[in-house]
């Protein structure tokens, strides 16, 4: 496995003209503070937290696949509170209907007309618990909203708030009675990560530490929503050199040659945006192959995970093998 | 350019072109086969009637032009267009059959290039308006072909002649003067700006303008107003002795074809160039009529070599026609009897012309054939040939052997090419008299009547006198006299001269000497051909390699240097995995080789900056190269 948990190093010698790359957008310190604050709550999960932040910065949506109780909700709440974002949690069940999450048009007797009442999806950070428990109908309503950033009801379009960040979770075990997300819809998630159990030391720190709920209540916003939107804009401006794009395309080509369903163009875009966000998080204004490798598994694993030719292998292994097989040009 | 073609042939071409432009937008097409056959038959018949034959160069070229014209009318498909372009190229080649002048060559080059451009444009599709890209591409093609053209020009074996091939028979045999000097024969040349020959003085010894008498032919048979050369100079007993000594003025003369046999040299040529003899009267006489440009070296000495005059020659040189009037005889004899010194007689004769009210005029009006009296005693109007003829006749009457020399006087110096250009308009006639103590002496009676004619050259002389009948439009004349145009004309002349002497006369012999000069003396045509082929292939290979080199990715050098760095690092024990990014590798390698960690980090950071940063400054590349090389030194230092 690639070493993705490294710390950003000072790149003072990179530029002859002496400009600190991190200051190009002037956000490095605030991003560091943001990541650090979330990491204080989710102890020992620096990589996962960083990936989640990168996903948020890249304007993607996050799929967390793990057993219950590893801190998925806490992570979502920490992210939301650190940025003073509105937060909603929706538990998906098999009897949930699209209108339950999107909202309903209800007849207002005073005004003599139907009025649209926004559902819980109209929030900046939405945690969807056990997304595979709902029926395909509800799932697709959710995923459509995720892609389009708006909700249509009775022919009227309602914009979702900005930023709009969906964190969906699903349980890899207990698959009975679930509706697994189809590939086409998995593709809508920028990343899929696993939190996993913390290591011994981290778990000890957590056991000894304060109640997470109290800690969440005390969290102070690190920067404003406007700043977040600005950073999201800047992510797309992070420089990608021709050499890097060569590497990215080599990866895409290799996946298409090796697997029956290779990475789609949308996956290529996802990989690009995620690695841009990762580079920005690492304090760089240019993307390196290492950035692609850092986000590579998270971005590619759920897209490669259902290869009919290699059914035994998980997407994680496939993505890892892919990254190791394509040389950096 | 179309000199040899019947005028209706190019006209037909233009008409069909115009017709096509009219027909095409309206959708008219030539569909009737019968009509086409009739059209072709009519034009073929017209060619036959125009030339009396369908064989030969002009009928052949006309045939191609006519068929091309008809093809324009008929053509509609892409294939026909391409065939026409190829035909056009053939036609360009045919242009050289008609003339090989530089101007024609340039026209044909433009035509050739435009055909190429048309073909390119055709293959680019039908988007109109884009005119420059195909032109640019065509220019590029031609530029790329240039080295090959030069190579083939220099080395491709010539079979017989150079590029100057004389396929046409010279139309009216002679250009310039003839071996007969009859009234008015030079005046007709005074308006001709045709080039007679060009002369270079390789030693830099240039005679003054007044001494630049280019000897053409000597007319020693005098019949009053009409003088003729001896029937055939070679048939006459030769009294010439080759001149020895090298004080002479060396000249390189490039003569334009004139169909006769005389060649030109300054007074007086001392030895004939190859292929010519020195005729009695000391003028050059070619063995062959001059039908193509010829370049020769000749040396002239200021003193004539034959000092003896045989009685037979003397008798011939004193012959006068019997019909001369008593007045003329009396005039001459009055000089002869007044002094026994021939020099004094000559001076008296010159005095007669100087003070007798003679005037120089290129249009003296018609004289009767034998009317020497009219000229000498009444009208006293004429130009060089009149003076030369009458002077020589008078000298003979006075008992002094005399002859008329026809040639050229002066010439225009071209400062760009450092040569003299002598035109037909510079034709001149003068006299030579035999003096017992000095042999032949040049006497130019025209110089007495109109000294400026000799000193200035005809053009300036006429311009000064304001009697030029050359250009009716004085404004155009004035414009043409502007220094800038004079300069342009001189430059054009000198380019023409180079074209004639270097390109067109590069024949088998010139090629042989060139090949020997570059060290391939044993070249027979076959080996020359093979070598040319090899060189051409080599040239193409070099060109191909250069193209590959030029189109290689720009990042290659950075990549190659980084590859070298990685190989060096591997020798130190830190091998980079192919999938490993530069940052990861730098960290890992720094850990593996701690004493080089700083260098490794520096090199990796520079590499990252060069390859992935938004605007890598080019100077970093040199730093990077230096760092990688220094890393090598450090490695060696460590190994020691």
Contact A288 B582 (CB under 8 A): yes
pTM of the predicted structure, to 2 decimals: 0.47
Q: How far apart are CA B557 and CA B435, in angstroms?
A: 87
Q: State the pLDDT at residue A22.
A: 44
Q: Which of residues 586-615 of B touch A (CB under 8 A)?
A: 587, 601-602, 605-606, 608-609, 611-614
Q: State the pLDDT at residue A11.
A: 35
Q: How far apart are CA A235 and CA A276, in angstroms?
A: 6
Q: State the pLDDT at residue B14.
A: 92
Q: State the pLDDT at residue B112.
A: 93
Contact B578 A17 (CB under 8 A): no
Half-sphere exposure of B273 (CA within 13 A, CB side): 20
- Residues of A with Cβ-Cβ distance to B602 under 8 angstroms: 13
Contact A286 B583 (CB under 8 A): no
pLDDT greater than 90 at residue B280: no
Break chain A into its structural domains and give their ranges: 22-229, 236-329
pLDDT greater than 90 at residue A275: yes
Q: Which domains does chain B have, with CATH numbers?
A: 8-130 (no CATH), 312-404+429-470 (3.10.620.30), 556-639 (no CATH)
Contact A290 B583 (CB under 8 A): yes
Q: At CA A313, angle to CA A310 and CA A318, rounded to 5?
A: 90
Q: What is the percent of chain B where pLDDT is above 70?
A: 81
Q: How far apart are CA B300 and CA B478, in angstroms?
A: 37
Distances (CA, A) of B281 to A30, A33, B167, B236, B338: 110, 114, 34, 11, 29
pLDDT greater than 60 at residue B467: no
Q: How far apart are CA B35 and CA B22, in angstroms?
A: 19
pLDDT greater than 90 at residue A274: yes
pLDDT greater than 60 at residue B305: no
User: Pairing state of beta strands B427-435 and B439-443?
Assistant: antiparallel
> Which member of B578, B584, B606 has the closest CB to residue A327?
B578
Mean pLDDT over B571-593 rounds to 86
Helix axes B132-155, B508-517, angle to 10 degrees: 80
Between B69 and B418, the more confident residue is B69
**Conformation bin of residue A310: beta by default, left when phi > 0, alpha when psi is -120 to 50:** beta
- Residues of B with Cβ-Cβ distance to A14 under 8 angstroms: 605, 608-609, 613
Residue B157 has phi, psi (to 5 degrees) of -60, 130
Q: Are A66 and A172 in contact (CB under 8 A)?
A: yes
> Which member of A6, A239, A293 has the closest CB to residue B614?
A239
- Residues of B with Cβ-Cβ distance to A9 under 8 angstroms: 587
Q: What is the pLDDT of residues A306-324, one digit of tens each?
A: 665 665 667 788 888 888 8
* DSSP-H helix ranges across B382-482: 384-397, 445-449, 451-456, 458-465, 474-481
Between B311 and B633, the more confident residue is B311
Q: What is the pLDDT of residues B143-190, one digit of tens each?
A: 988 988 888 888 887 765 545 554 444 444 445 666 666 656 666 666
Q: How far apart are CA A4 and CA A46, in angstroms?
A: 10
Q: How far apart are CA A115 and CA A118, in angstroms?
A: 10
Q: State the pLDDT at residue B15.
A: 92
Which fold, A236-329?
A: Helicase, Ruva Protein; domain 3 (1.10.8)
Between A2 and A268, the more confident residue is A268
Which among A9, A328, A329 is the top mutation candidate for probing chain B, defined by the most B β-carbons within 10 Å of its own β-carbon? A328
Contact A13 B620 (CB under 8 A): no
Interface residue B584 vs chain A (CB under 8 A): yes
Residue A17: band (very low, low, confident or very high) from pLDDT cuts 50, 70, 90: very low
Mean pLDDT over B129-151 rounds to 84
Which two three-digit tokens encode residue A271? 């990989």
State the smallest CA–CA distance between residue B612 and chain A in angstroms: 5
Contact B609 A323 (CB under 8 A): no
Q: Are B124 and B134 in contact (CB under 8 A)?
A: yes
Interface residue B627 vs chain A (CB under 8 A): no
pLDDT greater than 60 at residue B636: no
How many residues are listed for chain B in this entry?
640
Interface residue B581 vs chain A (CB under 8 A): yes
Chain A residue closest to B585 (CA)? Answer: A290
Residue A270: band (very low, low, confident or very high) from pLDDT cuts 50, 70, 90: very high
Helix axes B102-124, B78-98, angle to 10 degrees: 170
pLDDT greater than 60 at residue B330: yes
Q: State the pLDDT at residue B245.
A: 52
Q: What is the pLDDT of residues A20-36, one digit of tens each?
A: 444 455 677 788 888 88
Least confident of A33-37, A76-80, B323-327: B323-327
Q: In this complex, how many residue pairs, one in chain A and one in chain B, have their CB atoms less than 8 Å apart?
A: 66
Residue B498 has phi, psi (to 5 degrees) of -60, -40
Q: What is the DSSP string of A18-38?
A: ---GGGGTT-HHHHHHHHHHH
State the smallest CA–CA distance between residue B136 and chain A in angstroms: 30
Q: How far apart are CA B317 and CA A159, in angstroms?
A: 122
Distances (CA, A) of B312 to B203, B233, B308, B401, B498: 39, 15, 12, 12, 46
Between B70 and A212, the more confident residue is B70
Which fold, A22-229?
A: Rossmann fold (3.40.50)
Mean pLDDT over B36-44 rounds to 89
- Give the DSSP H/E element, type plus range, for residue A279: helix A265-281
Contact A241 B614 (CB under 8 A): yes
Rg (CA), chain B: 37
Residue B235: band (very low, low, confident or very high) from pLDDT cuts 50, 70, 90: very low
State the smallest CA–CA distance between residue B546 and chain A in angstroms: 24
Q: State the pLDDT at residue B417.
A: 76
Residue A281: band (very low, low, confident or very high) from pLDDT cuts 50, 70, 90: confident
Buried b (16+ CB within 10 A) or exposed e, B301-339: beebbbeebeeebeebbbebeeebbeebeebbeebbeee
State the smallest CA–CA distance between residue B639 and chain A in angstroms: 28
Buried b (16+ CB within 10 A) or exposed e, A168-190: bbbbeeeeeebbebeeebbbbbb
- Residues of A with Cβ-Cβ distance to B613 under 8 angstroms: 14-15, 239, 241, 286
Q: What is the percent of chain B where pLDDT is above 90?
A: 4
Rg (CA), chain A: 20
Q: How far apart are CA B92 and CA B219, in angstroms?
A: 45
Contact A288 B612 (CB under 8 A): yes
pLDDT greater than 70 at residue B230: no
Residue B567 has phi, psi (to 5 degrees) of -65, -40
Contact B581 A326 (CB under 8 A): no
Q: State the pLDDT at residue A179.
A: 82
User: Pairing state of beta strands B213-223 and B262-263?
Assistant: unpaired
Mean pLDDT over A144-156 rounds to 83
Residue B375: band (very low, low, confident or very high) from pLDDT cuts 50, 70, 90: confident
Which among B554, B575, B583, B626 is the top mutation candidate for probing chain A, defined by the most A β-carbons within 10 Å of its own β-carbon? B583
Quick count: other Cβ atoms within 10 Å of Cβ B483?
7
Mean pLDDT score across all residues of chain B: 78
Q: State the pLDDT at residue B553.
A: 54
Interface residue B619 vs chain A (CB under 8 A): yes
Helix axes B57-74, B33-51, angle to 10 degrees: 160
Q: What is the pLDDT of residues B490-515, one digit of tens each?
A: 888 888 888 877 887 777 777 777 88
Q: What is the pLDDT of residues A217-262, one digit of tens each?
A: 888 888 888 888 888 888 888 888 888 898 999 999 888 887 777 8
pLDDT greater than 50 at residue B294: yes
Between B263 and B551, the more confident residue is B263
């Amino acid at each position: 496995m690639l070493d993705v948990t490294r710390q950003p190093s000072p790149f003072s010698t990179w530029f002859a003209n002496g400009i600190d790359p991190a200051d190009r957008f002037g956000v490095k310190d605030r991003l560091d503070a943001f990541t650090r604050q979330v990491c204080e709550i989710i102890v020992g999960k620096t990589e996962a937290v960083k990936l989640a932040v990168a996903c948020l910065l890249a304007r993607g949506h996050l799929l967390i696949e793990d057993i219950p109780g590893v801190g998925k909700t806490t992570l979502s709440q920490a992210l939301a509170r650190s940025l003073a974002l509105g937060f909603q949690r929706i538990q998906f069940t098999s009897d949930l209907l699209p209108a339950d999450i999107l909202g309903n048009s209800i007849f207002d007797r005073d005004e003599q007309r139907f009025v649209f009442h926004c559902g819980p999806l109209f929030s900046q950070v939405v945690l969807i618990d056990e997304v595979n428990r709902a029926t395909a109908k509800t799932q697709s309503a959710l995923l459509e909203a995720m892609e389009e950033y708006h909700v249509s009801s009775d022919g009227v379009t309602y914009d979702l708030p900005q930023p709009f960040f969906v964190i969906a979770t699903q349980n890899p075990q207990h698959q009975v009675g679930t509706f697994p997300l189809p590939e086409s819809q998995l593709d809508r998630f920028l990343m899929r990560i696993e939190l996993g159990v913390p290591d011994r030391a981290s778990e000890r720190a957590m056991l000894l530490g304060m109640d997470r709920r109290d800690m969440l209540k005390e969290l102070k916003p690190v920067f404003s929503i406007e700043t977040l939107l600005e950073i999201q804009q800047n992510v797309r401006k992070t420089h990608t050199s021709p050499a890097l794009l060569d590497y990215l395309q080599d990866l895409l080509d290799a996946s298409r040659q090796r697997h029956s369903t290779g990475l789609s163009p949308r996956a290529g875009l996802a990989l690009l945006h995620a690695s841009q966000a990762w580079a920005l998080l690492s304090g760089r204004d240019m993307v390196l192959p290492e950035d692609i490798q850092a986000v590579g598994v998270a971005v590619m694993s759920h897209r490669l995970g259902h290869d009919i030719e290699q059914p035994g292998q998980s997407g994680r292994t496939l993505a890892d093998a892919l990254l190791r097989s394509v040389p950096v040009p | 350019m179309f000199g040899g073609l019947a005028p209706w042939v190019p006209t037909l071409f233009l008409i069909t072109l115009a017709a096509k432009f009219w027909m095409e937008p309206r959708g008219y097409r030539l569909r009737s086969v019968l009509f086409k056959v009739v059209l072709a038959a009519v034009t073929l018949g017209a060619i036959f009637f125009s030339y009396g034959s369908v064989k030969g160069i002009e009928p052949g070229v006309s045939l191609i032009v006519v068929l091309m014209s008809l093809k324009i009318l008929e053509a509609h498909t892409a294939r026909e267009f391409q065939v026409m372009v190829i035909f056009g190229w053939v036609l360009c080649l045919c242009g050289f059959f008609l003339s090989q002048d530089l101007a024609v060559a340039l026209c044909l080059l433009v035509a050739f290039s435009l055909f190429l451009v048309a073909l390119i444009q055709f293959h680019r599709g039908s988007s109109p308006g884009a005119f420059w890209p195909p032109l640019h591409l065509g220019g590029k093609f031609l530029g790329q072909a240039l080295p090959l053209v030069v190579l083939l020009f220099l080395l491709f074996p010539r079979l017989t002649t150079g590029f100057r091939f004389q396929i046409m028979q010279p139309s009216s045999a002679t250009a310039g003067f003839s071996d007969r000097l009859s009234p008015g024969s030079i005046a007709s040349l005074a308006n001709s700006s045709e080039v007679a020959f060009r002369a270079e003085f390789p030693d830099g010894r240039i005679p003054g303008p007044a001494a630049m008498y280019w000897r053409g032919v000597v007319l020693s048979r005098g019949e009053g107003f009409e003088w003729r050369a001896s029937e055939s100079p070679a048939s006459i007993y030769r009294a010439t002795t080759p001149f020895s000594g090298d004080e002479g003025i060396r000249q390189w003369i490039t003569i334009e074809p004139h169909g006769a046999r005389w060649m030109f040299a300054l007074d007086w040529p001392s030895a004939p160039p190859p292929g010519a003899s020195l005729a009695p009267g000391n003028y050059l006489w070619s063995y062959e009529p001059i039908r193509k440009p010829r370049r020769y070296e000749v040396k002239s000495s200021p003193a004539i070599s034959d000092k003896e005059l045989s009685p037979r020659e003397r008798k011939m040189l004193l012959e006068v026609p019997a019909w001369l009037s008593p007045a003329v005889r009396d005039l001459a004899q009055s000089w002869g009897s007044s002094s026994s010194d021939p020099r004094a007689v000559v001076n008296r004769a010159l005095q007669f012309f100087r003070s007798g009210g003679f005037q120089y005029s290129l249009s003296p009006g018609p004289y009767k054939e034998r009317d020497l009296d009219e000229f000498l005693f009444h009208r006293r109007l004429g130009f060089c040939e009149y003076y030369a003829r009458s002077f020589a006749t008078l000298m003979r009457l006075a008992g002094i052997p005399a002859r008329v020399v026809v040639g050229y006087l002066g010439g225009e110096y071209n400062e760009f090419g450092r040569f003299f250009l002598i035109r037909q308009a510079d034709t001149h006639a003068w006299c030579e008299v035999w003096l017992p103590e000095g042999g032949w002496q040049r006497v130019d009676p025209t110089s007495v009547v109109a000294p400026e004619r000799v000193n200035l050259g005809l053009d300036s002389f006429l311009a000064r006198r304001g009697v030029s009948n050359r250009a009716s439009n004085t404004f155009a004349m004035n414009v043409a006299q502007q220094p800038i145009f004079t300069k342009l004309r001189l430059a054009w002349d000198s380019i023409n001269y180079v074209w004639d002497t270097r390109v067109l006369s590069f024949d088998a012999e010139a090629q042989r000497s060139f090949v020997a000069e570059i060290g391939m003396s044993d070249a027979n045509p076959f080996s020359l051909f093979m070598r040319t082929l090899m060189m051409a292939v080599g040239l193409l290979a070099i060109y191909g390699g250069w193209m590959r080199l030029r189109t290689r990715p720009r990042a290659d050098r950075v990549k190659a240097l980084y590859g070298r760095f990685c190989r060096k690092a591997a020798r130190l024990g830190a091998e980079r995995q192919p999938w490993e990014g530069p940052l990861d590798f730098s960290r890992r390698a720094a850990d593996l080789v701690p004493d080089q960690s700083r260098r490794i980090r520096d090199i990796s950071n520079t590499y990252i900056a060069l390859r992935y940063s938004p605007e890598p400054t080019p100077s970093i590349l040199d730093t990077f190269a230096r760092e990688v090389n220094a890393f090598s030194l450090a490695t060696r230092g460590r190994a020691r």
